Amino acid sequence: MLIEISNKKLQDTPSDAKIIFVIDKNLSHRWIEDKEELELLGFKSENEEATFINTHKIIYVGCESLEADNIRLACAKALECIKKTNIKTLTIGTYSHNCPGINIKAMAEGFVLGSYVFNAYKTNKEAFKIEKITICLEDYEQVDVSMQTANKALHVGKTIAEVTNLAKEIINITPQDMTPLALANEALKLASLPNVTCKVMDKEFLEEKGMNAFLAVNRASVHPPKLIHLIYKPENAIKKIIYVGKGLTYDSGGLSLKPSEHMVTMKADKSGGAAVLAILKGAALLELPFEVHAIIGATENMIGGDAYKPDDVLKAKNGKTIEVRNTDAEGRLVLADCLGYAQEFKPDLLIDMATLTGACVVALGEFTTGVMGHSDELKSSLLGAASKSGELGAVLPFNKYLKKLLKSSVADMSNISSSRYGGAITAGLFLDNFIDDENKDKWLHLDIAGPAYLEKAWGYNQCGASGAGVRMNLYWMIEESKK
C-alpha cells in the first residue's frame, strides 16, 4: 500500500473515496456533504464510529479530538469500514490546524497499523485491496506546511508502524515454524541494513559464559537455544541503549505444566524478543543517533526426561544461585543471564521487555504495560513517550518488603515469590538481582504480558499480536535524540 503526500486540494484529488473525520456532534465541517444522512443514521461522531455513504463516495469516521491517538484510531477504522468493498484509492485532508507533522505521522501510523492482516495459514487469503492513500496538504484553516515537513513526518510514521507490524508477524507465526533458529534467521536478515550487524551464539557459547539458568530452561527442548545479538552502530552515536528481550518461542510451563487452555497463545511468549528486534530495525531505518543493541534469549520451555525441575538449584551467569520452585517462571531465568551478558557492553540505558507475568495483567488489565525500575526520572521519561505513541503504560513500584518474598532457604533466591500477591513486582525484583549496582538507575523492566497478544481486536490492533512496546520505545528514542 502506497501512502503519498499531495499539495492539491482534497476535492481536486481523484480517488475512489474520501475519508472525512467528523469531529463535532453538530456535523459542521465544510467537507461534510451528507449531514442529513448522518443525522438520519444517528451518527454521533464518537471514536470507533464509521460509515460509508455511497452517494458521494465518502467514509465518515468519528474522531472525538485531533489528538494523535484519536487520528490513528480514525484512520484504522476507515479502512475497516470499507474492507469488503472494491475501493482501491483513498484521499484525506490533514486537519493540521495545530501540528501538521504530528497529524500526518499519526495518519501514516493508523493506516499502516490498520492495514495489517495475518493470513499465513489461511488457504483462501483475503487480499488487502487498498493500493494508494493520498494525504492532501489541505485543512480547514489553510495552515501552510511544506512538502519536506510532510514527507518527513510520513516517513517516520510509516517506519514506526511497519516495524511494529514486523513484530506482530514474528509473534503470530506458530511455534513449529518460529523456532529459536528461525527467530535467529529473522534477526540475521537485519544485517543487510546500514550500520547493523548480527551475531547468533549457540549452546556452547552459553556454556562458556556460565549462562546456566538460560540453559536449564532449554534442556527438554529438541530445538537448541540461540543467543541473538543485534547491533546498530551509527557514526558519532550519542548514547548506548541496550534492549534485552524474552524470546520464548513456546512455553509449555515445563514440568510445572500449564493447563491446556493456558498453553494456547504461548507462541506469544516471544513478544519481548520480537519487540526488541523491531525496535532496532526502526532505529536503523530512522537513522537515530544511538548505538542500539537488541539481545534476545531464544528457546522453548518444554517437558521431557531431561527437563529442569522444581527443587533444582541453578547458578546464573553472575554467580548467584536460584532455587527453582516453579518451572513456569522460566522467562526471568533466561532474562537473568541475558541481562548479565548485556551489561558486559556497558550500557547507558538498559531495558528488558518480556511477557513475564499474568499478575501484571491482573494488576493493570490487558492493554497496559507495567513499567518498573529504580529511576523515577527514567520511568517518567518513558511513560511520557508512551503516551505520545498511543501505547498505555503504568508504573508498578518496587518495595523492600516484596523483595523479602524471594528468599530461599537453600539458595541465594527463589525463582518465585512465597506469596501470590504482587507477582509482577516480585518478578521485576527477581531481575533486579542480576543488575549491577552501577546500572541500577539505568535499567527499566517492561512487563508487556497484557497488551502483547489478545484474542480479540482492540482499537487499531487486530486479534493476535500487537507489537507492544515497539512504538513507545521508538518514540522515546526520538524524544531523547532531541535533547
Q: How many CA atoms lie within 13 A of 342 on its CB side?
A: 34
DSSP string, 389-435: HT-EEEE----HHHHGGG--SSSSEESS-SSSTTHHHHHHHHHHTTS
Determine the Cα–Cα distance for residues 324 and 333; give it in Å rounded to an integer. Answer: 10
Candidate list 270, 332, 388, 403, residue with the active-site label: 332
Give the residue from 108, 109, 113 showing the smallest Cα distance to 465: 113
What is the C-alpha to C-alpha distance for residues 108 and 94, in angstroms, rounded to an integer? 11
Q: Which of 83, 152, 258, 315 is catalytic?
A: 258
Amino acid identity at 351: I
* Rg (the chain; Cα; Å): 24
**Rounded alpha-carbon distances, angstroms, from residue 144 to 96, 97, 200:** 9, 9, 49
For residue 362, which phi and psi values (nearest 5 degrees)? -65, -40
CA 435, distance to chain mean position in Å, is 23
233 is catalytic: no
Q: Tell me the CA end-to-end span of the chain in Å, nearest whole number.
A: 34
Rounded Cα gap, residues 229 and 199, in angstroms: 5
DSSP element (H, E) containing 479: helix 470-481
The label of the residue with cell 443514521 reads 41
Q: How far apart are CA 133 and CA 390, in angstroms?
A: 22
Q: DSSP assignment, residue 289? A: S
* Calpha distance 279→55 (Å, rounded): 43
Is 325 an annotated catalytic residue? no
Question: What are the cell numbers at 63?
Answer: 474522531
Q: At what angle do helices 180-189 and 271-285 cross, to 10 degrees?
A: 10
Q: Are 210 and 340 in contact (CB under 8 A)?
A: no
Q: What are the φ and ψ backbone dihedral angles of 243, each rounded to 5 degrees? A: -105, 135
The 10 Å Cβ neighbour count of residue 367 is 16
User: Minimal CA–CA distance to 32: which of 23, 41, 357?
Assistant: 23
Annotated catalytic residues are: 258, 332
